[in-house]
Amino acid sequence: MPTLTETPPVPVATKMTIEEIQKLLPHRYPFLLVDRIIDYVPGHSATGIKNVTINEQFFQGHFPGHPIMPGVLIVEAMAQVGGVVLKQMPGSEGQLFLFAGIDKVRFRRPVVPGDRLVITTELLAARKRFGKMQARAEVDGQLACEGELMFSLVDL
């Protein structure tokens, strides 16, 4: 408990709506793949939600009669949740994080319409203009995808 001479800590939002996410990330429909942030620890980690619906454009061709979310879009969704952490790091204002590498990515189960993708990212390292994150995506507690994502900070 702070004393009278201490300034109380500034509360940090641990959840974010889609409107708050859009203030951080440059992605827009149809490429914004995060619907909500349900947990956030500044400079450390974030957990986000992607509600997968049959209305997604990619299901028209991937695959007719057997819709499966493309693996590259699962990885992109993980990167966007990681971007929520990275975009709030000091010095990232007016800049953009791009993929610099993707390592050890493994797909464990298909993601289909009706699934709720729960994506967790944790910052492993951050140096000047580079960041590395561990990411995982789960559906109903089952691992769907995991891997390490590397980012490079570029000027807009």
pLDDT, mean over the chain: 92
Catalytic residue among 27, 44, 62, 66: 62
Confidence of residue 156 (pLDDT cuts 50, 70, 90): confident
3-state secondary structure 9-51: CCCCCCCECHHHHHHHCCCCCCCCCCCEEEEEECCCEEEEEEE
Terminal alpha carbon distance of the chain = 42
Residue 62 is among the residues annotated as catalytic for this protein:
yes
What top-level class would CATH report for the domain 18-155? Answer: alpha beta
Give this prediction's pTM: 0.90
Half-sphere exposure of 153 toward its Cβ, with a 13 Å CA cutoff? 18
Q: What is the model's pLDDT at position 70?
A: 98
Cβ-count burial of 35 within 10 angstroms (0-12 exposed, 13-18 middle, 19+ buried)? middle
Cβ-count burial of 28 within 10 angstroms (0-12 exposed, 13-18 middle, 19+ buried)? exposed
CA distance 35 to 119: 11
Which residue did the predictor score with more confidence, 22 or 92? 22
Residue 26, sorted as left (phi over 0), alpha (psi -120 to 50) or beta, turns out to be alpha
Confidence of residue 101 (pLDDT cuts 50, 70, 90): very high
- Tokens of residue 144, six digits: 């769907």
What residues does each domain of the chain span? 18-155
pLDDT tens per residue across span 39-91 = 999 989 999 999 999 999 999 999 999 999 999 999 999 999 999 999 988 88
Does residue 59 contact residue 129 with C-beta atoms inside 8 Å?
Answer: no
